[in-house]
């Protein structure tokens, strides 16, 4: 298996796809460099000149960046199916999403979650499905289904389940509710991640909540709250959706803590995605906010717009509007090839 990659890298055989005459963001050394990108199967095997490809694309004036990841999203909030959602966001550079189908589960239980899992297998988008943790969200809610601790324990081991979705019932965590603890302990036993949901939770209550093994939060409201969560090891999200935009929280980011900050949309309507974009829109808004508050230089983001590609396969998909993250914001690999995006420099609309 390795031989075909080695021979393609050495130019002894043709690569499958060649992106020619463009530049790329090298996240290892923080430079924007030029070079043709040679792809074999789903792997980048080399960057340089002299490669030949069975299929070649001239990307003059464009820059390759890693695909964008939405750290927390409810697909159903777009009022679209997973297939249609993928068709909307992949052309905007999003190649992976962490999806919690909570609203579907609240109506259909595990059938709703299984529907998303199966649909995810047939789209050019990596959909990491979380098992919805709080169905219903509160004991006072009228829902179409209930997922108790036994249900979570039974389903969390499924290989298609990435982890446990946002744990909204934080009073039940810090109150040591037996059924809640069963959900958390089953997830730990399965060695999977637990997402959080803890608005305004700080101090001792936050300590107790985090002792449940919860790793993320997208509900910070104040800068001090976000800083405290980051200081205690929480991966926090800047949320840029249709209903909530936590732009002021950009002020909480420092050169020391930025690796604990993620972007998510949470809930974003299809009409807004069509009009403004997806995570590319989020990045543009972060840039605009950072420039106003004179954020540190590590938050600098290179804005681009116009044609670009991203695909889970070797077939390019073309669209418009894009913002790429600074080359110094993450130390990510440029492989596999399915997780690359291609941008063309141009001043974006806001």
Q: Which of 53-62, 228-237, 340-349 has the lowest mean pLDDT?
A: 340-349
42 & 70 share domain: no
Count the domains in the chain.
2
- The predicted model scores a pTM of 0.82
Quote the mean pLDDT of the chain: 84
Contact between residue 317 and residue 340 where contact means Cβ atoms under 8 Å apart: no
Query: Burial level of 32, CB count in 10 A (0-12/13-18/19+)?
Result: middle
35 & 162 share domain: no
Residue 336 has pLDDT above 90, yes or no: no
90-130 pLDDT tens trace: 999 999 999 999 999 999 999 999 999 999 999 999 999 99
CATH of residue 245's domain is: 3.20.20.140
Contact between residue 341 and residue 66 where contact means Cβ atoms under 8 Å apart: yes
Residue 218 has pLDDT above 60, yes or no: yes
Classify residue 350: in a domain, yes or no: no
113 & 163 share domain: yes
Q: What would the two tokens of residue 104 be?
A: 């579907």
CATH of residue 16's domain is: 2.30.40
131 & 196 share domain: yes
235 & 286 share domain: yes
Domain that holds residue 168: 66-297
236 & 321 share domain: no
Residue 293 is predicted with a pLDDT of: 56
The proportion of the chain whose per-residue pLDDT surpasses 90, expressed as a percent, equals: 69
Q: Which residues in 64-102 are b (16+ Cβ under 10 Å) and which e?
A: bbbbbbbbbbbbbbbebebeebbebbbbbbbbbbbbbbb
223 & 182 share domain: yes
Residue 47 is predicted with a pLDDT of: 94
CA angle 319, 101, 125 (to 5 degrees): 30
Classify residue 349: in a domain, yes or no: no
Q: What integer is the mean pLDDT of 72-87? A: 96
Q: What would the two tokens of residue 55 be?
A: 């299929």
Query: Residue 264 to residues 51, 111, 242, 288: CA-CA distances in angstroms?
Result: 37, 25, 11, 17
60 & 70 share domain: no
């Amino acid at each position: 298996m390795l031989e075909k990659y080695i021979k393609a890298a050495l130019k002894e055989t043709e690569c499958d796809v060649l992106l020619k005459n463009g530049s790329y963001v090298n996240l290892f050394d923080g430079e924007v460099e030029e070079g043709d990108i040679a792809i074999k199967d789903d792997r980048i095997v080399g960057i340089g000149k002299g490669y030949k490809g069975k299929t070649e694309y001239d990307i003059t004036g464009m820059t390759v960046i890693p695909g964008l990841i939405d750290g927390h999203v409810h697909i159903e909030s777009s009022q679209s199916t997973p297939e249609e959602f993928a068709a909307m966001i992949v052309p905007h550079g999003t190649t992976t999403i962490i999806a919690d189908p909570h609203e579907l589960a609240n109506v259909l239980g595990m059938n709703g979650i299984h529907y998303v899992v199966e649909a995810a297998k047939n789209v050019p988008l990596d959909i990491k499905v979380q098992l919805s943790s709080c169905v219903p969200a509160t004991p006072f809610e009228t829902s179409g289904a209930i997922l108790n601790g036994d249900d979570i324990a039974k389903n969390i081991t499924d290989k298609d389940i990435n982890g446990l979705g946002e744990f909204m019932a934080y009073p039940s965590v810090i109150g040591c509710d037996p059924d809640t603890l069963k959900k958390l302990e089953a997830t730990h036993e399965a060695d999977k991640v637990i997402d959080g949901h803890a608005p305004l939770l700080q101090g001792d209550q936050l300590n107790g909540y985090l002792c449940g093994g919860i790793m993320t939060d997208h509900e910070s409201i104040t800068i001090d709250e976000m800083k405290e969560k980051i200081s205690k090891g929480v991966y926090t999200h800047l949320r840029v959706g249709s209903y909530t935009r936590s732009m002021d929280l950009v002020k909480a980011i420092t050169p020391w803590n930025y690796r604990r900050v993620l972007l998510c949309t949470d809930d974003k309507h299809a009409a807004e995605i069509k009009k403004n974009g997806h995570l590319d829109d989020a990045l543009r808004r972060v840039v605009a906010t950072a420039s106003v508050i004179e954020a540190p230089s590590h938050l600098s983001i290179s804005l681009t717009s116009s044609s670009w590609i991203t695909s889970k396969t070797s077939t390019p998909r073309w669209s418009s509007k894009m913002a790429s993250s600074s080359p110094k914001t993450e130390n990510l690999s440029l492989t596999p090839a399915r997780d690359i995006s291609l941008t063309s420099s141009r001043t974006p609309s806001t």
